[in-house]
Amino acid sequence: MFTPRKLIGLSLLFLIIAIVVGFLNKSEVNGLRIASVNAASSLEIARRLQATSEQKLKARAKELSSLTGKVANAEARAGSAEAELRKSQSEKAALESKLQSTETQVVDLQKQVAAATVTGGSDSKEKISDGKLKSQLLDTRRRMEAVEQEKATLVEKLKAVQDRVTAMEEEKGRRGLRTSVAGIHGTVLAVNQAYNFVVLSLGERQGVVPNSEMLVLRGGALIGKIRISSVEPTTSIGDIITNSLARGVQVQPGDTVIYGGNASS
């Protein structure tokens, strides 16, 4: 039989149990709340990192597109210059042919003048009258002067065309060098993560020069940049530009590299 004292003891016991259970529940709720806040914070950080990576990839894709456009424009200008060069070379050949013909004409006229002079001084019965001989000489000399003048004009035109052809051929040579450099591409042969450098399958023979930059692509997407530090005949070493890589991305063997221009520094 329960006495008042026992009832009071049981009540106190149940009260203590309820307090302990309540405390444990509160701690568990607080723990769940903290875990929920941490999860939400991690998710937000992940979203921000993803947005930043996407922005960087878009910027690099835009940079690559711009570079491709510049190469296309350069090729178009090169094609136009090549056509102009061929036109100038044809003009030069035509002028040279015409000049040669004019020089032949001059020689023929000089022979005619000499022959007329000899005939005029001859005692032959078929000697031409003085008036007719003088007229022939005068006409021949006039023609010769006109031809000489045409020859001088042709020489000036030929010199101008020759200078233009020479200038265009020199520019073609320089443009050919730039095009070969701008078009080079290769692969990453090895990566040293400890010292942050790579070995490339391109070298001096392909036009690689120290301090130039190479764009690194993977699956057609730009992932970073490399600055060339030393060049061998068929290989080169470059430093990875770490701030050009997206978070968590690393250059790997097999990645594609293409020429990206000369570094400003």
Q: How do residues 147-205 score in pLDDT, each as one tens digit? A: 778 777 877 877 787 777 777 776 655 554 444 455 678 999 999 988 899 999 998 88
Tell me the average pLDDT across 21-50: 70
Spans of all domains in the chain: 82-180, 184-262
Q: Please name the fold of domain 184-262.
A: Thrombin, subunit H (2.40.10)
**pLDDT surpassing 80 at residue 223:** yes
Q: How confident is the model at residue 2 (pLDDT cuts 50, 70, 90)?
A: low
Q: With pLDDT > 70 as the criterion, what percentage of the chain qualifies? A: 62
* Percent of the chain whose predicted confidence (pLDDT) is above 90: 16
Segment among 37-41, 122-126, 238-242, 250-254 with least mean pLDDT: 122-126
Residue 245 has pLDDT above 80, yes or no: yes
Q: Tell me: the pLDDT tens digits for 54-86?
A: 776 677 667 666 666 665 666 676 667 677 777
Cα dihedral 159→165→171→177 (10° resolution)? -130
Tell me whether residue 150 is exposed, middle or buried, using C-beta atoms within 10 angstroms of its C-beta: 0 to 12, 13 to 18, 19 or more.
Answer: middle
Query: Phi and psi (nearest 5°) for 168?
Result: -70, -35
Q: Which of 209, 215, 211 is nearest to 255 (CA)?
A: 215
Q: Is the pLDDT of residue 265 over 50?
A: no
pLDDT at 250 over 70: yes
Q: How far apart are alpha carbons 5 and 206 in whole angstroms?
A: 101
Q: Return the pLDDT at 184.
A: 78
CA proximity to 238, closest of 254, 253, 225, 256: 225
Euclidean distance between CA atoms 146 and 140, whole angstroms: 10
Confidence of residue 37 (pLDDT cuts 50, 70, 90): low
Beta bridge partners of 213: 227, 261
Q: Is 214:259 a contact under the CB 8 Å cutoff?
A: yes
pLDDT band at 124 (very low <50, low <70, confident <90, very high): very low
Q: What's the rounded mean pLDDT across residues 126-142?
A: 65
- Average pLDDT score over residue span 130-155: 73
Contact 188, 254 (CB under 8 A): yes
Tokens of 58: 């878009």
pLDDT band at 252 (very low <50, low <70, confident <90, very high): very high
* The predicted structure's pLDDT at residue 159: 79
Weakest mean pLDDT among 27-31, 143-147, 193-197, 217-221 = 27-31
Q: Give the phi and the psi of residue 230 in degrees, each rounded to 5.
A: -150, 150
Full-model pTM: 0.37
Kindly report the average pLDDT of the chain as a whole number: 75
| Ordered DSSP codes for the chain | ---HHHHHHHHHHHHHHHHHHHHHHHHHHHHHHHHHHHHHHHHHHHHHHHHHHHHHHHHHHHHHHHHHHHHHHHHHHHHHHHHHHHHHHHHHHHHHHHHHHHHHHHHHHHHHHHHHHHHHT---TTPPPHHHHHHHHHHHHHHHHHHHHHHHHHHHHHHHHHHHHHHHHHHHHHHHHHHHHHT-EEEEEEEETTTTEEEES--GGGT--TTEEEEEEETTEEEEEEEEEEE-SS-EEEEEEGGGSPTT----TT-EEEEEEE---
In whole angstroms, what is the distance from residue 183 CA to residue 224 CA?
18
On the question of pLDDT at 38 being above 80, the answer is: no
pLDDT at residue 123 tops 50? no
pLDDT at 179 (0 to 100): 47
Can you tell me the mean pLDDT for 117-132? 54
